[in-house]
Structure 1
């Protein structure tokens, strides 16, 4: 199986401190989350973590959108 970046690795490519885009803001905030599961690729495990620990995430729909973007990027 081909190597795939973790979701966190992908998310870090979306950082932009000047952007008002929700995914960029999510990435900016996740960068400072010391306990973020940085090696994780699994949607359910990431979702569980974020629901319990990511007070900086205004809505899980932001994560859903970011995860969709991640899956599209990793599919080729």
Structure 2
């Protein structure tokens, strides 16, 4: 069974890190409305564009989503 994007993102959390992706994961953890079961790019992108003031650039999401897809293909 494929992990949702949120489940994948939570594996990247690191409160001690200053890495942009780790910070994205840390902040998404506290976002109660984050679409936790979503796997598709478009709904996630739309949600983040409209609701994620904690994400300084959508390129961070794009890079993270690309890694998510690569991991899913490797399984």
Same fold, judged at TM 0.5 (above)? yes
- TM-score (ref. length: structure 1): 0.95
Segments of structure 1 that go 5 or more residues without pairing to the other structure are none
- TM-score (ref. length: structure 2): 0.97
Alignment match, 2:51: 53
Question: How does 1:1-76 map onto structure 2 within 5 Å?
Answer: 3-75=1-73, 76=75
**Higher helix content, 1 or 2:** 2
Q: Which runs of 4+ in 1 moved over 2 A?
A: none
Counterpart Cα distance in 2 of 1:64 and 1:18: 23
Segments of structure 2 that go 5 or more residues without pairing to the other structure are none
The Cα RMSD (Å) is 0.5
